[in-house]
A and B are shown apart, each in its own frame.
Chain A
Amino acid sequence: MNKHLFIYDLKQNRLLFAIILAVLIMYSSIITNMFDPAGNEDLIALATMKMSPELMRAFGFEIAADCSLTSFLSSYLYGMLMLIFPLLYANITANRLMAQHVDKGNMAFLLATPLSRTTIATTQAIFLLAGTWLLLCICCAFSMILCHSLFPGLLDTTNYIHLNVGLAALMTLLSGIGFLASACCNETKYSLGFGMGLPLLFYVFKMAADASGTTALKYMSVFSLFENTALANGEGEIWKIVLMFGSGLLLYMAGIVLFCKRDLSL
């Protein structure tokens, strides 16, 4: 891990981080404000007018009228928005941290310093993981404070934190895919193609699986390991979270090892 490279990463990626964070905070505020402790019949009626039941399920908008605030957020926020926007941040950044330097050629200058490739790749991996987790932490903390001020005592803090830990595990896995692709590709089009394309394909499978109820599709998507509804009800399975964290970290390590071994035509 190299401090100076980390600081450069920070300067280069802070704008994207700020934009994604702002979008997530805006959506969190809007959606939290939509919750009605007396019952969400109006909201469901309104949503059903606009969307078919399949579409509602595809976007993860599945709630009972008398659901808890935690379930409400897990469905309306963690069914799509909190999946897609952190994914965008993590995997665009992943591409910029490795593949873009190789594609543009400025990686040659990094390699011409006494920094080992392991140090370079590890620094970028730590930056990516730390940034992604920080994004989720800020969003989680913001939501908790907002819920506390709007609906004191209604949020089940323990389950809500479990939900967010599950999300962090999922994002570790997804950003791991992005990092591995970025470490292995010479061109950003391939790095983004695999690193962003594969997670998005998984997301499409998840949407299709949710909308149609097809189990085969469900097993083809890593998103199925993140059970937002179950986690919000305190029924999440710990092995799924461990699996996501574990395989995510393995992907990061694979990225570092392959980057050290491969040819870099710079």
Chain B
Amino acid sequence: MIKIQSLQKDYGNGKGVFDLSLHIPEGEVFGFLGPNGAGKTTTIRMLLGFIAPDAGQCHVNGLPSFAQRAKIMSDLGYVPAEINFFDGMNGMDFLKFMGKLRQMHDTSRRDELIRYLDIDTSVRISRMSKGMKQKIALVAAFMHRPRILVLDEPTSGLDPLMQHRFNEMIVQERERGTTVFMSSHSFEEVERTCSRIGIIRQGHLVAVENIGALHKSKQRRYTLTLAHAETADKLLERCPCKLVARNGNMLTVSVNAEDINGFIKALGRFELTDICSETISLEELFMQYYK
């Protein structure tokens, strides 16, 4: 469905996308992960034919991206990373306008999504919060039931409840057989919905893996607060874990996936006042994967 071959766009200073190849079959939900400025949006722009690659090529639905971009768009939904709507409209005006430009006659999916995401479409665009704009952009991308979705950081600005609903929407699309290409800068955001993940770093695609493999290699990290600071050394000795940071009676430790049970059992013998799990940054996840 999406085919990228040796794609290159050099902006100088190491910025851009370099020799990126990727193949996403029909019906796959693909997560495209990378820190800010890694080249996610540049890749998406080439995929949609907004910019021409310096070398290499990409095809969407069998059509070359730059040359056939208008044709590609008839069966594609897109959420840009930065959302700016047209002046002088409210949410509904915008959705109607986009529907007209798409020559979309069936508005049932649009109205269903508006209810599902709980949007007040009568608010003027200039008065909308980031989250509201994000929701309207999601409706605009999903409303014509496209077979391909390209979503550039689709959950930014959404509250946890709406992030959950968004995940449900992606699951629905997956069941419908839609191909989804979704970028994000955090693993947690995509791990529930994507079946495969690619990690991009400084313009290079450094890993493409099934979510299961990544999940397995992912270390869990916890911060433990001990009731008695002097028991810390004993804890580190007896529990299958590695010390990451220590601050008085607070220990941050990392645990391998297969050691979780042993860790919890061993932990039971110590007196804790608090335990909380930490999220691991993408960079660390990447380091762990290649260890």
On whether the beta carbons of B52 and A110 are closer than 8 Å, the reply is: no
Contacts of B140 in A (CB 8 A): 109
On whether the beta carbons of A266 and B50 are closer than 8 Å, the reply is: yes
Q: Is A214 an interface residue (CB 8 A)?
A: no
The count of residues in chain B whose C-beta lies closer than 8 Å to any C-beta of chain A is 29
Nearest A residue (CB) for B45: A265
Q: Which of B84-92, B232-240, B269-277 contacts A (4 or more CB under 8 A)?
A: B84-92
Task: Give A205 to B154 CA distance when docked, in angstroms.
Answer: 52
Q: Which residues of B in the span 53-111 have a Cβ within 8 Å of any Cβ on A? A: 69-71, 73-74, 76-78, 80, 82-88, 97-98, 100-103
Q: Is A52 an interface residue (CB 8 A)?
A: no
Interface size range on A against B: 20 to 34
- Known A105-B80, A266-B45; judge A110-B101 contact (CB<8 A): yes
* Highest count of chain B CB atoms <10 Å: which of A4, A11, A109: A109
Task: Give A110 to B140 CA distance when docked, in angstroms.
Answer: 11
Q: Is A264 an interface residue (CB 8 A)?
A: yes
* Highest count of chain B CB atoms <10 Å: which of A2, A4, A119: A4
On whether the beta carbons of A114 and B85 are closer than 8 Å, the reply is: no
Q: Which residues of A in the span 3-21 have a Cβ within 8 Å of any Cβ on B? A: 4-5, 8, 11-12
On whether the beta carbons of B74 and A114 are closer than 8 Å, the reply is: yes
Contact with A along B128-162 (1 / 0, CB 8 A): 00000000000011000000000000000000000
- Known A106-B84, A106-B86; judge A264-B51 contact (CB<8 A): yes
* Highest count of chain A CB atoms <10 Å: which of B69, B84, B140: B84
Q: Is A238 an interface residue (CB 8 A)?
A: no
Contacts of A119 in B (CB 8 A): 70
Q: Is A113 an interface residue (CB 8 A)?
A: yes
Contacts of B74 in A (CB 8 A): 114
On whether the beta carbons of B50 and A106 are closer than 8 Å, the reply is: no
On whether the beta carbons of B80 and A113 are closer than 8 Å, the reply is: no
On whether the beta carbons of A115 and B101 are closer than 8 Å, the reply is: yes
Task: Give A113 to B98 CA distance when docked, in angstroms.
Answer: 7
On whether the beta carbons of B78 and A8 are closer than 8 Å, the reply is: no
Contacts of B52 in A (CB 8 A): 263
**10 extra A-B contacts, CB within 8 A, seeds A109-B140, A111-B50, A114-B73:** A8-B86, A105-B82, A109-B98, A112-B48, A112-B78, A113-B73, A115-B70, A263-B52, A265-B45, A266-B45
B interface residue numbers (CB < 8 A to A): 45, 48, 50-52, 69-71, 73-74, 76-78, 80, 82-88, 97-98, 100-103, 140-141
